[in-house]
Amino acid sequence: MTLLRVRDLSKQFVIRGQGGLLARKASFTAVDQVSFDVALGETLAIVGESGSGKSTTARIAARLLDPTSGSVEFEGEDISRATGKDLARFRNDVQVVFQDPFSSLNPRYTVERIVTAPLTYQGIAPKGGRRAFTRELMERVGLNPDHSQRYPAQFSGGQAQRIGIARALAVNPKLVICDEAVSALDVSIQAQVIKLLMRLQRESGFSYIFIAHDLAVVRQLSHRVAVMSKGRIVELGSRDQVFGEPRDEYTKTLLAAVPRINPEWDRRRRLSKGRS
């Protein structure tokens, strides 16, 4: 079942130069005629280099930005121009996890307040009370529930990102948009958070749009992959097709450029690991 349907999405930014009355205006097309679907329970990764338009696309899909043209349908309804109740319901169903956990968590709020904020805004009282609700969520994302009264600064980067994930899950979303959500993390922490994201999807069955520049990370957790370059989707296909038999020249270049651990050394290490 198609959860999100994006059609011919474009976004232009107007850059106003200096010069008072005679200032020149220029426009820059960040996203150009982008179309894709996200099915319920699947992970669509959008990969690309800086300036490819992947983050802008994600932001429009989350209605954090308005598109210049095109449509975003969520469960069959066009939400790209929705307001009021429709928009509120959409905001409830779609949650975003950002790259920098510390700047996206209010440093003056406790974990409990951060995690229950989405409910508070909608006037929902969690069943069993805030404390119990927060503890349960913290356990789900692998945090110590006894720390629910702590502030973001008292957590490490990986833990803070788990708080961000917990906040996203608080409202039982149908779609979680991860905007470079694991990019700032150290590799060992990154691996844990990737596993967490995959486990949560298996448990709850929601969809991900996973924005990333790291192709190796995308290889681990995506079902389908869209490769973006200069605002356009140059290739869209299943993960194994895109990584195994890329059709587009740019995709091939991108894949070839990714540094790899010497495969021969890696094979020998795994062999000896298997033996011991």
Which residues of this protein are in contact with other proteins, per CB under 8 A?
17-23, 49-50, 186-188, 190-191, 194-195, 198, 213-217, 219-221, 243, 253-266, 268-269, 272-273
Whichever of 81 and 195 has its CB closer to other proteins, that residue is 195
Residue in the block written with tokens 């006037």: 123
Whichever of 173 and 246 has its CB closer to other proteins, that residue is 246
CA 239 – CA 259 distance, rounded (Å): 19
Lookup: tokens for 68: 């210049």
Instruction: Please report how close the Cβ of residue 189 comes to other proteins at its closest, in angstroms.
Output: 8
SS3 call for 273: helix
Instruction: Please report how close the Cβ of residue 54 comes to other proteins at its closest, in angstroms.
Output: 12
Kindly tell me the number of DSSP H helices and DSSP E strands found in the chain. Answer: 10, 10
- Identify the H or E element spanning 116: helix 111-121
| Residues near 70 by beta carbon (within 8 Å), at least 6 away in sequence | 6, 7, 8, 9, 10, 33, 34, 35, 80
Instruction: Please report how close the Cβ of residue 239 comes to other proteins at its closest, in angstroms.
Output: 9
Whichever of 247 and 268 has its CB closer to other proteins, that residue is 268
Instruction: Please report how close the Cβ of residue 149 comes to other proteins at its closest, in angstroms.
Output: 24
Whichever of 123 and 265 has its CB closer to other proteins, that residue is 265
Instruction: Please report how close the Cβ of residue 231 comes to other proteins at its closest, in angstroms.
Output: 15
Whichever of 16 and 247 has its CB closer to other proteins, that residue is 16
| Residues near 71 by beta carbon (within 8 Å), at least 6 away in sequence | 5, 6, 7, 8, 9, 78, 80
